[in-house]
């Protein structure tokens, strides 16, 4: 079984504009597809630091002295760059979302297609699982995550259904959750609805949006002038945040201008229009269908040129 097919592989790695002797960061190592492509373009003195909080990913690390693997969440980018004495780097790549490996392993609880324990933790060494979440969050907490992270209009009804179901018995498995929400699952496109429910739970369990915000802010600090930030997103919530950050330099998307009306931002957009997978790639890998690639370059003085 293939661990994970890298999405927008050449478009994203080309977007880094790699210098052979440069230092680069792959924030989402996974199966190592993007990292291996970066290594092809690096010289003998180039370095790649690869992050992944999922312990399973470490088995994919190539035997290459230019690679430093960090088994941690990318929100700790600053800590590890300091630890490895990297004051600045030439490029940072992030392929957000979950890997095919995580989806295809029933025991991880990421997919509604298999009956398994509700887990959904990318880092299984700690933290709250999806099982704990659905059995302990109050009404307001459940409504918040379904509305904010699943963009589900009937968030209140879903929260009520879960609370009622768990009063009968704890929701332990993916099948338990599906039974609790059965009356809300549309006969047309049931997978689309369930994907939103699971997305909301997964984002909350892994603190994905907070980690993304922390990481984006740190990239401004650690990318060299002319360095590239390359990010692949898979849903509108994270894509909106990345787009705002690359356009304005802040998470809110507030455009700042100087006295002369010039936009002040630490970034220059490399691709004004979002890059999406080609028809050929989608034929090979249907899981790439929602991917969006954005690329920005760190400017010298915080003013877009």
Q: What is the tens place of the pLDDT at every residue in 68-108?
A: 999 999 999 999 999 999 999 999 999 997 766 677 677 78
Is 304 domain-assigned?
no
Q: Give the whole-angstrom CA distance, residue 185 versus residue 190.
A: 6
Nearest to 19 by CA among 95, 88, 96, 76: 88
Given 174, 206, 238, the domain boundary residue is: 206
CA quadruple 199, 200, 204, 210: dihedral positive or negative?
A: positive
Given 162, 177, 206, the domain boundary residue is: 206
* In a shared domain, residues 257 and 268: yes
* In a shared domain, residues 96 and 236: yes
**Which domain CATH number covers 122?**
1.10.150.170
* In a shared domain, residues 212 and 200: no
How many domains does the chain fold into?
Answer: 2
Give yes or no for residue 119 having a pLDDT over 90. Answer: yes
Q: Residue 118: its pLDDT value, please?
A: 94
Give yes or no for residue 222 having a pLDDT over 80. Answer: yes
* In a shared domain, residues 218 and 168: no
* In a shared domain, residues 112 and 60: no
Q: What is the mean pLDDT of residues 21-46?
A: 97
Is 91 domain-assigned?
yes
* In a shared domain, residues 37 and 95: yes
Phi and psi at residue 256, to the nearest 5°: -105, 140
Is 174 domain-assigned?
yes
Is 303 domain-assigned?
no
Given 206, 237, 255, the domain boundary residue is: 206
Q: Tell me the pLDDT tens digit for each residue of 145-189.
A: 999 999 999 999 999 999 999 999 999 999 999 999 999 999 999
* In a shared domain, residues 24 and 85: yes
* In a shared domain, residues 212 and 201: no
CA separation (Å) from 173 to 102, 109, 133?
A: 16, 8, 12
* In a shared domain, residues 121 and 185: yes
* In a shared domain, residues 113 and 199: yes
Q: 3-class DSSP state for residue 46?
A: coil
Angle 36-42-48 from CA coordinates, rounded to 5°: 65
Is 4 domain-assigned?
no
* In a shared domain, residues 212 and 230: yes
* In a shared domain, residues 241 and 161: no
Q: Residue 120: give the domain boundaries.
A: 108-206
Is 153 domain-assigned?
yes
Is 3 domain-assigned?
no
| Percent of the chain scoring above 90 in pLDDT | 79
Is 1 domain-assigned?
no
Average pLDDT, the chain: 92
Tokens of residue 16, six digits: 């880094």
**Which domain CATH number covers 268?**
3.40.50.150
């Amino acid at each position: 079984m293939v661990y994970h097919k890298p999405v927008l592989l050449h478009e994203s790695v080309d977007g880094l504009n790699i210098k052979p002797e440069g230092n680069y960061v792959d924030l989402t190592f996974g199966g190592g597809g993007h990292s291996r492509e970066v290594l092809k373009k690096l010289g003998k003195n180039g370095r790649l630091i690869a992050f992944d909080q999922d312990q399973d990913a470490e088995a994919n690390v190539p035997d290459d002295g230019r690679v430093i693997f960090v088994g941690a969440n990318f929100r700790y980018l600053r800590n590890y760059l300091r630890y490895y004495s990297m004051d600045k780097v030439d490029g940072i790549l992030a392929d957000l979302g979950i890997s095919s490996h995580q989806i295809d392993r029933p025991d991880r609880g990421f997919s509604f297609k298999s009956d398994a324990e509700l887990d959904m933790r990318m880092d299984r060494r700690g933290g709250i699982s999806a099982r704990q979440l659905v059995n302990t969050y109050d009404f307001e907490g459940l409504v918040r995550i379904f509305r904010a992270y699943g963009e589900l209009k009937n968030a209140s009804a879903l929260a009520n259904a879960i609370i009622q179901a768990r009063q009968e018995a704890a929701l332990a498995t993916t099948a338990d959750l599906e039974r609790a929400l059965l009356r809300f699952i549309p006969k047309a496109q049931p997978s689309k609805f369930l994907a939103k429910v699971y997305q909301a739970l997964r984002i909350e369990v892994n603190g994905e949006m907070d980690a993304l915000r922390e990481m984006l802010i740190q990239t401004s600090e650690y990318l060299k002038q002319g360095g590239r930030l390359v990010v692949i997103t898979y849903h509108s919530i994270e894509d909106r945040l990345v787009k705002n950050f690359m356009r304005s330099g802040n998470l809110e998307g507030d455009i700042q201008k100087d006295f002369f009306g010039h936009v002040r931002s630490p970034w220059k957009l490399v691709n004004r229009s979002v890059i999406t997978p080609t028809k050929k790639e989608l034929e090979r890998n249907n899981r790439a269908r929602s991917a969006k690639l954005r690329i920005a370059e760190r400017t010298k003085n915080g003013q877009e040129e």
